[in-house]
């Protein structure tokens, strides 16, 4: 297995410049993370404490095995999306280890508008359920939620992938034998009541836990009867009379220990050991920020990245002399085998054909795939069109879509247009997808979008006998360029759940090791590709 050549690293001057540009990005991100981790603010937190309730992250901390990592999904979801803060989209989700089993965890944060579901809370919940389904993981729901955030119901309730999908997922995953476990630690109102009611096993906490289709206010409005929450749907009623819950917990800590017992005896989601001993890369991953060009127009040298991600910096390269703008090869990360595709220039027909063949080979050998996006797109021009670049690109999209081995995507630089799709972008269905803080994504670059739209406008104006002055053209282009620039940024993308996480380059190996460990235990499926146009 060849060691990756890293003689081409940037000069020490460039390296230092890159490093300091990256530090500024990291700082911006740290501030956003701080807001996300703080929950709904001090007043709401004081109310939570006054009720004797733990915070969502404390609950997750108690649930997980001590010292094990929490693989958080959508930590920055909803960051600066709504007209008021909704930190972490009001729910903490991720994959963690409970009693030695990998488990998907969902913890409503009642300090954020009563733990109600905004469109992005829902998106995050559904995304984490999808990960659980694909990885074959039990789900633990730590429920403390007022249900749908009523002012935005039209974006949460009526459609196929809206609120009801949570319950359909619970039913389908239960049918697949993936344990669905709820612990009710606060309110669980209206539609939300179906989370514990549909779970295989449900724990409810005395005093604070309540489950009802209509809360006390609604009962009073509808029937005139005044009834308190505990009498209407508390732990005693549900474990003694209704059978909506199974286990009576005297405290949140007790509830969590009951959940841990249930996970332990249900036996799904064991994490697999790596097939070979992990070996650190020979080039230090801590150097990665110095490899990332401070100027986004300058490409990131692909081999420098691989040398800092792969075990022992080793790669068995596939067709090294052909279609060289994409590097494909197999290696290991954290001791787990992986087939890597990383862009090293614009995609040509040959690069797309090579990548398609490589994906086929990994499917045959059951090797998980890692797509590292650093791509402006496919080559354009008459000779490339005549050479069938569209059909070659389509083959790569077909292969990336249909391959059934676990697949992961990380945006390490730009990721644009069809290049994003061919490299297994969000719509193509990677099991997990992350982005480095410097990375950007949009259908085309801002400058190209502004230029295309200005050309169309100029043609329309020409028909009316008018033309742009240079100032008018710039005034037309600027807002387009700025909108693309804003919408392509990592924080904007992560806030909308277009990726699962923003990962620091320096921690990417750990993120990937966990991803590959999860994948190693996931149910395998046979690959069938669609028709390849030759
Ligand atoms: N939609 C929108 N906002 C909601 C909400 C909902 N379903 N439920 C609660 N909120 C908001 C409250 O207006 C309040 O906002 P504020 O902090 O800006 O004042 C915040 O969430 C906290 O609610 P509050 O009632 O003060 O907290 P609480 O801890 O005493 O009670 C609930 C929390 C969830 C039990 C209670 O608010 C409730 O019963 N809500 C209605 C639930 C419901 O009927 N949902 C039906 C939809 S499926």
Q: pLDDT, tens digit, for every residue of 193-210?
A: 999 999 999 999 999 999
| CA separation for the pair 99, 262 (Å, rounded) | 9
| CA separation for the pair 288, 311 (Å, rounded) | 15
Averaged pLDDT for residues 385-399: 97
Is the shortest distance between the CB of 419 and ligand 1 below 6 Å? no
Q: Are residues 250 and 391 in the same domain?
A: no
| pLDDT value, residue 507 | 97
Contact 305, 322 (CB under 8 A): no
Averaged pLDDT for residues 129-156: 96
For tokens 């799709």, the residue is 421
Q: DSSP letters along 74-120, please?
A: -TTTTTTTSSS--GGGGEEEEEEEETTEEEEEEEE-TTTGGG-B-HH
**Residue 33 lies inside a defined structural domain of this protein:** no
The dihedral over CA atoms of 367, 373, 374, 380, expressed in degrees to the nearest 10, equals 100
For tokens 């009541």, the residue is 193
| CA separation for the pair 311, 415 (Å, rounded) | 25
Is the shortest distance between the CB of 146 and ligand 1 below 6 Å? yes
Three-class DSSP labels, 219-270:
HHHHHCCCCCHHHHHCHHHHHHHHCCCCEEECCHHHHHHHHHHHHHHHCCCE
What pTM was estimated for this model as a whole?
0.95
pLDDT tens, position by position, 221-277: 999 999 998 899 999 999 999 999 999 999 999 999 999 999 999 877 778 899 999
Distance, C-alpha 282 to centroid of its chain? 29
Averaged pLDDT for residues 448-457: 95
Q: Are residues 229 and 175 in the same domain?
A: yes
Contact 187, 145 (CB under 8 A): yes
Q: Find the angle CA(484)-CA(486)-CA(460) to the nearest 5 degrees.
A: 25
The Å distance, Cα 88 to ligand 1 centre, comes to: 17
Q: What is the mean pLDDT of the chain?
A: 95
The Å distance, Cα 93 to ligand 1 centre, comes to: 21
pLDDT tens, position by position, 347-371: 999 999 999 999 999 999 999 999 9
Q: Are residues 251 and 300 in the same domain?
A: no
| pLDDT value, residue 156 | 96
Is the shortest distance between the CB of 232 and ligand 1 below 6 Å? no
Residue count (the chain): 534
Q: Are residues 248 and 306 in the same domain?
A: no
Helix crossing, 508-520 with 302-309: angle to 10°?
60
| CA separation for the pair 189, 435 (Å, rounded) | 36
Is the shortest distance between the CB of 187 and ligand 1 below 6 Å? yes
| CA separation for the pair 120, 93 (Å, rounded) | 12
| pLDDT value, residue 477 | 96
The Å distance, Cα 501 to ligand 1 centre, comes to: 29
Distance, C-alpha 181 to centroid of its chain? 22
Q: Are residues 335 and 242 in the same domain?
A: no
The yes-or-no verdict on residue 191 having pLDDT over 90 is: no
The yes-or-no verdict on residue 126 having pLDDT over 70 is: yes
Residues 6+ apart with CB under 8 A from 346: 325, 375, 376, 377, 378, 379
**Residue 197 lies inside a defined structural domain of this protein:** yes
Q: Is residue 9 very low, low, confident or very high in pLDDT (cuts 50, 70, 90)?
A: low
Averaged pLDDT for residues 445-467: 94
| CA separation for the pair 185, 249 (Å, rounded) | 10
Q: Are residues 231 and 379 in the same domain?
A: no
The yes-or-no verdict on residue 7 having pLDDT over 60 is: no
Final residue of a domain: which of 266, 300, 331? 266
Is the shortest distance between the CB of 334 and ligand 1 below 6 Å? no
Please classify residue 4 by burial: count the beta carbons closer than 10 Å to its beta carbon, then call 0-12 exposed, 13-18 middle and 19+ buried: buried
**Residue 525 lies inside a defined structural domain of this protein:** no
Final residue of a domain: which of 217, 239, 266? 266
Q: Which domain does 45 fall in, by range?
A: 38-266
Please classify residue 240 by burial: count the beta carbons closer than 10 Å to its beta carbon, then call 0-12 exposed, 13-18 middle and 19+ buried: exposed
Q: Is residue 8 very low, low, confident or very high in pLDDT (cuts 50, 70, 90)?
A: low
Q: Is residue 4 very low, low, confident or very high in pLDDT (cuts 50, 70, 90)?
A: confident
Final residue of a domain: which of 207, 234, 266? 266
CATH assignment at residue 347 = 3.90.226.10
Q: Is residue 214 very low, low, confident or very high in pLDDT (cuts 50, 70, 90)?
A: confident
**Residue 469 lies inside a defined structural domain of this protein:** no
Closest ligand 1 atom to 163 CA: 48
The yes-or-no verdict on residue 40 having pLDDT over 70 is: yes
Contact 443, 416 (CB under 8 A): yes
Is the shortest distance between the CB of 147 and ligand 1 below 6 Å? yes
Q: Which of 37-41, 76-80, 128-132, 304-308 has the lowest mean pLDDT?
A: 37-41
- Whose C-alpha lies nearest to ligand 1, atom 26? 114
- Whose C-alpha lies nearest to ligand 1, atom 12? 113
Q: Are residues 223 and 352 in the same domain?
A: no
The Å distance, Cα 42 to ligand 1 centre, comes to: 17
Residues 6+ apart with CB under 8 A from 118: 78, 82, 86, 89, 90, 149, 152, 156
- Whose C-alpha lies nearest to ligand 1, atom 6? 149
Q: Are residues 257 and 343 in the same domain?
A: no
**Residue 331 lies inside a defined structural domain of this protein:** yes
Contact 436, 504 (CB under 8 A): yes
| pLDDT value, residue 1 | 62
CA distances from 394 to 355, 362, 364, 399 (A): 11, 19, 20, 9
Q: pLDDT > 90: what percent of the chain?
A: 89
**Residue 477 lies inside a defined structural domain of this protein:** no
| pLDDT value, residue 130 | 98
Closest CA to 495 of 86, 77, 126, 87: 77
Is the shortest distance between the CB of 162 and ligand 1 below 6 Å? no
Is the shortest distance between the CB of 189 and ligand 1 below 6 Å? yes
Q: Which of 102-111, 280-289, 432-441, 517-526 has the lowest mean pLDDT?
A: 517-526
Tell me whether strands 101-108 and 180-189 are parallel, antiparallel or unpaired.
unpaired
CA distances from 217 to 113, 184, 207, 223, 523 (A): 17, 20, 18, 10, 46
- Whose C-alpha lies nearest to ligand 1, atom 30? 114
- Whose C-alpha lies nearest to ligand 1, atom 3? 149
Q: Are residues 225 and 80 in the same domain?
A: yes
pLDDT tens, position by position, 300-347: 999 999 999 999 999 999 999 999 999 999 999 999 999 999 999 999
| pLDDT value, residue 525 | 87
Is the shortest distance between the CB of 48 and ligand 1 below 6 Å? no
Q: Are residues 202 and 310 in the same domain?
A: no
Q: Domain tally for the chain? A: 2
Contact 371, 421 (CB under 8 A): no
H or E stretch at 352: helix 349-365
Q: Is residue 297 very low, low, confident or very high in pLDDT (cuts 50, 70, 90)?
A: confident
H-state helical runs in 403-507: 417-422, 446-463, 470-487, 490-495
**Residue 465 lies inside a defined structural domain of this protein:** no
**Residue 483 lies inside a defined structural domain of this protein:** no
Please classify residue 103 by burial: count the beta carbons closer than 10 Å to its beta carbon, then call 0-12 exposed, 13-18 middle and 19+ buried: buried
| CA separation for the pair 292, 281 (Å, rounded) | 18
The yes-or-no verdict on residue 3 having pLDDT over 90 is: no
For 45-75, give one letter per residue: b (16+ CB within 10 A) or e.
Answer: beebeeeebbbbbebbebbbeeeeebbbbbb
């Amino acid at each position: 297995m060849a060691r990756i050549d890293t003689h081409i690293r940037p000069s020490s001057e460039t390296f230092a410049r890159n490093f300091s540009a990256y530090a500024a990005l990291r700082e911006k991100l740290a501030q956003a993370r701080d807001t996300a981790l703080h929950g709904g603010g001090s007043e709401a937190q004081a109310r939570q404490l006054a009720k004797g309730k733990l915070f969502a992250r404390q609950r997750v901390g108690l649930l997980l095995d001590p010292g094990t990592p929490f693989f958080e999904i959508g930590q920055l979801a909803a960051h600066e999306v709504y007209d008021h803060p909704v930190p972490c989209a009001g729910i903490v989700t991720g994959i963690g280890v409970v009693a030695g089993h990998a488990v998907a965890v969902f913890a409503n944060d009642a300090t954020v508008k009563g733990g109600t579901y905004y469109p992005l809370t829902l998106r995050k919940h559904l995304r984490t359920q999808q990960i659980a389904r694909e990885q074959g993981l039990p789900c633990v729901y730590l429920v403390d939620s007022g249900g749908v955030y009523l002012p935005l119901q039209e974006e949460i309730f009526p459609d196929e992938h809206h609120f009801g999908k949570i319950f359909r997922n619970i039913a389908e995953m239960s049918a697949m034998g993936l344990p669905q476990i709820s612990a009710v630690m606060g309110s669980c109102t209206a539609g939300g009541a179906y989370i514990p009611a549909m779970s295989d096993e449900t724990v409810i906490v005395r005093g604070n836990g309540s489950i009802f289709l209509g809360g006390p206010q609604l009962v009073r409005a509808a029937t005139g009867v005044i009834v308190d929450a505990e009498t209407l749907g508390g732990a005693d009623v549900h474990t003694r009379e209704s059978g909506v819950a199974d286990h009576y917990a005297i405290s949140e800590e007790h509830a969590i220990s009951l959940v841990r017992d249930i996970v332990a005896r249900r036996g799904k989601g064991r994490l697999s050991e790596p097939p070979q001993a992990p070996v650190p890369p020979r080039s230090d991953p801590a150097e990665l920020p110095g490899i990332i060009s401070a100027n986004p127009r300058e490409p990131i040298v692909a081999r420098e990245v691989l040398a800092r991600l792969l075990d022992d910096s080793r790669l068995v390269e596939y067709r090294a002399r052909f279609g060289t703008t994409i590097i494909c090869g197999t290696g290991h990360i954290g001791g787990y085998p992986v087939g890597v595709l990383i862009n090293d220039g614009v995609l040509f027909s040959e690069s797309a054909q090579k990548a398609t063949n490589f994906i086929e080979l990994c499917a045959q050998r059951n090797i998980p795939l890692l797509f590292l996006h650093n791509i402006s797109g496919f080559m354009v021009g008459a000779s490339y069109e005549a050479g069938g670049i569209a059909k070659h690109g389509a083959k790569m999209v077909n292969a990336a879509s249909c391959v059934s081995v676990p697949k992961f995507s990380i945006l390490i630089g730009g990721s644009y247009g069809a290049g994003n799709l061919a490299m297994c972008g969000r719509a193509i269905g990677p099991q997990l997808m992350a982005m480095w803080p410097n990375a950007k994504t949009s259908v085309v670059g801002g400058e190209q979008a502004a230029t295309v739209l200005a050309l169309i406008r100029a043609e329309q104006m020409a028909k009316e006998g008018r033309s742009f002055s240079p100032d008018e053209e710039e005034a037309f282009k600027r807002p387009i360029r700025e909108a693309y620039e804003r919408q392509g940024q990592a924080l904007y993308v992560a806030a909308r759940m277009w990726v699962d996480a923003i990962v620091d380059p320096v921690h990417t190996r750990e993120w990937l090791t966990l991803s590959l460990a999860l994948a190693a235990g996931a149910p395998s499926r046979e690959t069938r590709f669609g028709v390849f146009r030759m």
